Amino acid sequence: MLLNATASALDAALLSSAQEIIKKHGIEDGLTSEEKFNAYIVLAFELETYGHLDKAISFYEKAQKLKPKKVDPLELETSYLFALYKFDLAKAKSYFQSYQKAIASSKDSDKDEILRFWKNVFSNSKQIQSGFYGQFFKDKNVKELMAKKKYSKALALRNPSGLEHANINAKLEYDTLSRLKGKKHGFYCEQMLKEFPNSYAVSMEICRYLKSGKLKHKGLDELIERAKKEAPALVYIASALKDIK
């Protein structure tokens, strides 16, 4: 079973999402090709979010082999390339030519911009490295502003352009800041919550609270404590939920 093959690599929160996949679709042998593709994508995405890059890469590769023709390749291939980049720069560089071929058929309006970005990454690493440091300090400033409850200033540092391709943490941060400023629907995290409505992973609980003001499991204080143990990168976001009116 898919669950048995991956359980040892998953923490408690991630395991809950994996269990939901199995509960929803049954054992791996009983899935259609498209259902397997969707399951692999979600597992890869959550594994990457929780730092299991090697396992995430393996599931992205499984998904690549099963990608339905109707699915635009840009998001899958870019997610895979980014995971490779974080895990092994040399492998990412080696894969880039295959990446360009894989996304050639994409009709996504962001394709050219994303391709230019990656060409810049691999052709001028010194310049991009500087950019990454700049992004690091921007991220640090946003977290500090949120800790000080200066949510308007934090939101001003974020640009939603391309956020649909970002990881779940980035989506949750922007969604939380937007909710704190009065937004009540149309959150970027909702697609994953729609896929796993019964999950009580920290990320999904945050999204659920943004959308409905309710949690599936206990209260906000308990969620913050869970985040400290299961998803430390989300603690500052979970803590900010207490300021939603």
Domain region containing 211: 128-243
Are both 179 and 234 inside the same structural domain? yes
Same domain membership, residue 99 and residue 133:
no
Q: Rounded to two decimals, what is the model's pTM?
A: 0.51
How many domains would you assign to the chain?
A: 2
Domain boundary among 106, 126, 146: 126
pLDDT at 11 (0 to 100): 44
Q: Identify the pLDDT of residue 206.
A: 96
Looking at residue 185, the DSSP 8-state letter turns out to be S
Q: Kindly compute the dihedral angle of the four CA atoms of residues 37, 38, 43, 44, in this order, to the nearest 10 degrees.
A: 60
In sequence order, what DSSP letters do the residues of 122-163 get, joined into one string? HH-HHHHHHHHHHHHHHHHHHHHHHHTT-HHHHHHT---TTG
Q: Are residues 51 and 103 in the same domain?
A: yes
Q: Are residues 144 and 230 in the same domain?
A: yes
Q: What pLDDT score was predicted for residue 216?
A: 87
In terms of domains, do 99 and 114 share one?
yes
Same domain, 52 and 83: yes
| Block residue for tokens 């800790």 | 147
Q: How is residue 67 written in tokens?
A: 């990608």
- DSSP 8-state class, residue 51: T
Q: How far apart are the first and last CA of the chain?
A: 44
pLDDT at 28: 54
Q: What is the pLDDT of residue 111?
A: 85
- 238 and 172 belong to one structural domain: yes
Residue 89, pLDDT score: 85
pLDDT of residue 13: 46
pLDDT under 70 in the chain at which residues?
1-30, 124-139
Write down the pLDDT at residue 212: 94
Q: Which two tokens stand for residue 27?
A: 């054992």
Residues 116 and 167 placed together within one structural domain of the fold: no
Same domain, 139 and 237: yes
Q: Which two tokens stand for residue 3?
A: 């669950």
**Is-contact 49 169, C-beta < 8 A?**
yes
pLDDT on residue 20: 54
| Same domain? 118 vs 153 | no
- Is the distance from CB of 84 to CB of 119 less than 8 angstroms? no
Say if residue 193 is in the same domain as residue 135: yes
The chain-wide mean pLDDT, for the chain, equals: 81
Among 91, 96, 49, which Cα is nearest to 77's? 96
Distance CA 99, CA 19 (A): 31
Q: What pLDDT sits at residue 50?
A: 73
pLDDT at 3: 39
Domain boundary among 94, 126, 158: 126
Residues 21 and 84 in one domain: yes
**Angle between helix 53-66 and helix 33-49 axes, rounded to 10 deg:** 160
CATH number at residue 92: 1.25.40
Which of 126, 152, 178 terminates a domain? The answer is: 126
Residues of the chain above pLDDT 70, percent: 81
* pLDDT at site 144: 86
